[in-house]
Amino acid sequence: MSVNNPWSIEESDFSVAEDLRSKIKFWLKYAVLAASAHNTQPWKCILKDDTLFVFRDEERTLGSDQTTRLAHIGIGAFIENLSIASQNWGYTSEVHITAFSPNELEIARISFDKATEDEGRSGLELFKAITTRHTNRGFYMSEAPDEILLKKIASDKECTAQPFVIVDENGKKRIGELVAKGTDIALSLPFMKRELASFIYSSRKPKEIGMPIESMIPGYLKNLIRPETAIKLINPKLLAEENMKKYSQAPALVLIGTHEDGPIAWIDAGRLMQRTLLRAASRGYSHDIAAGPIEIPTLLPNLRKEIPHDLRPQLLLRVGRAVNPSLSVSSGRKAVEV
């Protein structure tokens, strides 16, 4: 694997992993490429014998994430990447969730068994997308949605979380308005701006945690503005208007909901989110996740109206082909030490 680019993994290097412990360490290179809020990567692991213990890292749990919901979603995505990677090399993962309250640090215990011939490498399409998945916060092309992709996303029944694809214009407009309100509210709060600024860096000085400013500001401006200054200069209302257009004009939106609202549901939502993002990437699509309508209590009731009433929205994202591919900049990753 390239020292400077965690997204560049040589599959051939797996051949030197002779025992299961070494194989798990190799699969973790793929696991850390999972999506997480502000790219905090809120996981850490301990490997005992051939069992991987996954923990929530308190130091990498956002201060604004008081319920730890976002951290659990990120850990769910991490677990999903790990499971897909192990399956690619003919192993099944047995995930036992141990967290039953939001503040517990031990989240899961994962063991691996050699798969049957039919089970091995069945998720090759998703595996290949792990290293090509990318966020793009710019505008997406106004093209007809990919029906094959949307059917795959909508029919995912592998966990308790449920996906809902929204393509009708009225639905996208309503949700776009909620995203706009969420943007305006969140970025009008000094605390939220300070927190976001603390996770922005320049690719000229790459970091393992956080997001490159190049993924947020196009063109020459990114070379003229310091990351922390760029966040301070954000005009919440102007960005809100822009985000409303981005979501109302996207080819498709995806809402993920759960019946319960606790660690197990959050982890399931994170696993479904990661599969959704990988499916989009496998068809050449970018993605972007909006937190405001879900995180802000005054907006959540209106978002709930877009899915069955007995479900709690956990994630909202848009998918499409990026108008400006230069905004798809890979973020850093911190290797898991076990």
What predicted TM-score, i.e. pTM, was given to this entire model? 0.95
How many angstroms separate the Cα of 3 from the Cα of each of 34, 212, 236, 253, 295?
Answer: 18, 18, 38, 36, 36
**pLDDT tens figures, 171-226:** 999 999 999 999 999 999 999 989 998 999 888 889 999 999 888 876 545 565 67
Decide if 166 contacts 253 (C-beta within 8 A): yes
The chain-wide mean pLDDT, for the chain, equals 93
Residue 122 has pLDDT above 60, yes or no: no
Q: What is the mean pLDDT of residues 299-322?
A: 97
Dihedral sign, Cα of residue 36, residue 302, residue 168, residue 268: positive
Rounded Cα distance between 273 and 163, Å, is 9
The residue length of the chain stands at 338
**Helix, strand, coil share (%) of the chain residues, nearest 5:** 45, 20, 40
Residue 1 has pLDDT above 50, yes or no: no
Rounded Cα distance between 112 and 91, Å, is 6
Torsion (CA) 41, 43, 46, 52 in degrees, nearest 10: -100
What is the reported pLDDT for 3? 44
Q: What is the mean pLDDT of residues 81-87?
A: 97
Ramachandran area for residue 41 (φ above 0: left; ψ -120 to 50: alpha; else beta) = left
**pLDDT tens figures, 131-157:** 999 999 999 999 888 999 999 999 998
Residue 275 has pLDDT above 90, yes or no: yes
**pLDDT tens figures, 21-60:** 999 999 999 999 999 999 999 999 999 999 999 999 999 9
What is the reported pLDDT for 231? 76
Q: Which of 60, 57, 108, 61 is nearest to 83 (CA)?
A: 108
Q: What percent of the chain has pLDDT over 90?
A: 83
